[in-house]
Structure 1
Amino acid sequence: MIKIIVHAYVNCENKAIVEVVFASSDESRISAKMTELESKYPNDYLATYDLPLDSDLTSLPHYPSVEIGKEDFN
């Protein structure tokens, strides 16, 4: 099992950005990085997700995902 930290925000061009910013299997490193990011980006969305290795993430009840529209590809 690993954990990832996801950072989501709206940039200066009003585009939604969602990025995976950190991954680790070490709980203390995840906690320290999350604390750092929360102080650096207090108004942004930050979330930690547990990810089992060698698994089809779409088979889980909830997994990191982003909804985008067809217009995002134009």
Structure 2
Amino acid sequence: MIQIIVNAFVEKDNTGAVVEVLYASGDYEKVKTKYEELVAQYPENYLVIYDVPLDTNLSSLPHYPSVFIGKEEFEEREE
């Protein structure tokens, strides 16, 4: 099992949101330390630690790292 730290925030110009994986490790103490550093660095953002089992179809779990993207994100944009 590894842990990942996910960071989510709204872009400064409010045109969208970003969800990114900032850190991954199999060492829980390192993850905890890095999480505390990131919370201090990004106090307005949503940060979360996910446990991620290896060799597992993550969508079979009750909760796993995921992002919702509306269908409009996949439509061609007119310029």
The TM tier, using the shorter chain, reads over 0.9
**Considering only CA atoms, is the larger Rg found in Structure 1 or Structure 2?**
2
Could you tell me which runs of 5 or more consecutive residues in structure 1 were left unpaired when the two chains were aligned: none
When normalised by structure 1's length, the TM-score is 0.95
Computed over aligned residues only, the root mean square deviation of the Cα atoms, in angstroms, reads: 0.8
The alignment covers a number of residue pairs equal to 74
Give the match for residue 47 of structure 2: 46
Give the match for residue 21 of structure 1: 22
When normalised by structure 2's length, the TM-score is 0.89
Q: Deviations over 1:10-35 (max 9, x none)?
A: 01231100001100000111011100
Letter in 1 for 2:32: S
1:2 and 2:13 are equivalent in the alignment: no
SS in 1 for 2:38: helix
